[in-house]
Amino acid sequence: MDKHFTFTNLMQNRISNIKVPMDHIMRNDLQAALNCLSMKNDETLIMDILNATFAKNKRIEMLNFERTTQLMPFIKRLIESKYETYNRAGLKSALNVLRAFSPQII
């Protein structure tokens, strides 16, 4: 029972941490969402946000070149992580972002 309580608290923490950046994203304010991610400095939160958005090829329309350069350090951080789930979220996000801008890059 103690493990269930710990797990429940952990999930409640993750839910409360993701609310503010996701609210910014839903209002198309990526800059404020990225600022929240910087202040929290939590790879799990970064992974949750990227999995909900760019890793699933959602909200790509929010990006332009300037925002992409602000987003890439977060993606790079996940790619360089020692955890496979973080790597996967970072790689999927990078692929979708680069795919969206490939005509301009080429």
C-alpha–C-alpha distance, residues 60 and 7, integer Å? 32
Residue 103 has pLDDT above 80, yes or no: yes
pTM of the model: 0.85
Residue 1 has pLDDT above 80, yes or no: no
Summarize pLDDT for 41-84 with one digit per residue, the tens: 899 999 999 999 988 888 888 888 888 889 999 999 999 999 99
* Residue 73 CB contacts under 8 Å (≥ 6 apart), including other chains: none
In the chain, domain spans: 2-105
C-alpha–C-alpha distance, residues 87 and 77, integer Å? 9
Summarize pLDDT for 13-23 with one digit per residue, the tens: 888 889 999 99
C-alpha–C-alpha distance, residues 21 and 48, integer Å? 10
C-alpha–C-alpha distance, residues 49 and 29, integer Å? 13
Q: Indicate the residue type of 8.
A: T
